[in-house]
Amino acid sequence: MQKMKENWPDVITLDIEMPRMDGITFLKMIMAERPTPVVICSTLTEKGAETTLQALSAGAVSIVTKPKSSLRDFLKDASAELIGEVKAAAASHPKTFQHKKSTQVTSASDLSDQIKPSSSLSQTTQRVVAIGASTGGTQALEEILCALPRLSPGVVIVQHMPERITTAFAKRLNGLCEIEVREAESGDRVVAGTALIAPGGKHLVLKRSGAQYHVDVIDGPLVNRHKPSVDVLFRSVAKYAGSNALGIILTGMGDDGSAGLLEMREAGAHTVGQDEESSIVYGMPKEAFKRGAVQKQLPLSQMAAEIQRQNWL
């Protein structure tokens, strides 16, 4: 930190496991002193998933997975990815972010207030909200989902994240939000008051059976260098939900989601892109806007209200 104060860096690559001070503590110091783009380069394991998620929540803009062994081969094979992440981070605009704390249950009445309606008892929603995000998306999704009331339309989400991290991410959001948030499984119904997040390493698609919407979690090749891919989700929403859908594309680098969002708009869906000022990385929303896929741009603070509007069109 003393060296940084002499010549503050443009981008920082940061491990989580370090001597003397762990990476998350150091990350929090950086963000408190002077918000700076940070790329986490760490070994990801089941045990470390929650720790890595804490780093993203504390302000890291992206993650590069570092293997436990064969580091030399990793640096050779993943050099283009690492360079790309650093360059994208350099173009990002990290911001301080106030996180909600998990609600503490202190009495029986508090417990009853926290009980969420069972999916089997929830009414089927005829409206579907599809959200795609990448770099900076964990913070953006937390802000949006935490602002939604219990009876909000059903939400399906693709957030570019490594395998195993999405489970911890969904559990964390579920503890913060009034709506139910969970990692999607094939056959899950899309119902009011529920948000389903695509598992890392799998694509998420929307299907329809009669008047009911549900999701399938499928394997397959990378699409736009990603799995899950926002385009895969958005295209399925365009096909099966059409004008009953709202598509939202959030902060992230690259162009994943822009083609699918255009298909949604052409199918009659309402489409929204995050504006440049509130985006950590104005890449995906910018590409979607350039293609004509975005009907209107909104700051992050207005996304939850847009989802709750009775009539999107």
Domains of the chain: 2-90 (3.40.50.2300), 116-308 (3.40.50.180)
Q: Is the peptide bond before 117 cis (omega within 30 degrees of 0)?
A: no
162, 188, 228, 277 from 251: Cα distances, Å: 17, 26, 16, 10
Using an 8 Å Cβ cutoff, are 218 and 250 in contact?
A: no
pLDDT at 309 over 90: no
pLDDT tens per residue across span 97-109: 555 554 443 333 3
C-alpha 296, offset from chain centre: 20
State whether the Cα torsion 270-208-260-224 is positive or negative.
positive
pLDDT above 60 for 44: no
Does the active-site annotation cover 10?
no
- With cut-offs at 50, 70 and 90, classify the pLDDT of residue 40: confident
Q: Where are the alpha helices (DSSP H) in 147-229?
A: 165-176
Q: Is the pLDDT of residue 112 over 50?
A: no
If you average pLDDT over residues 285-294, what whole number do you get?
97
- In this prediction, residue 96 has a pLDDT band, given cuts at 50, 70 and 90, of low
Q: Is 203 a catalytic residue?
A: no
Read off the pTM: 0.79
Mean pLDDT of the 56-61 span: 86
pLDDT tens for each residue of 133-160: 999 999 999 999 999 999 899 999 999 9
Query: Pick the catalytic residue: 62, 92, 152, 160?
Result: 160
Q: Which position among 62, 122, 134, 278 bears the catalytic label? A: 134
- In the beta sheet, which residues pair with residue 65? 42
For residue 40, list its beta bridge partners.
Answer: 14, 63
> % helix / strand / coil in the chain, to the nearest 5?
35, 20, 45
Is 160 catalytic? The answer is yes
Catalytic residue among 188, 231, 255, 256: 256
pLDDT confidence bin for 75, thresholds 50/70/90: confident
Angle (CA) 254 255 256, round 5°: 105
Name the pairing type of β-strands 194-197 and 180-183.
parallel
Q: Is the pLDDT of residue 46 over 50?
A: no
Listed in order, strand segments (DSSP E) in 171-285 are 180-183, 194-197, 203-209, 212-218, 245-249, 270-274
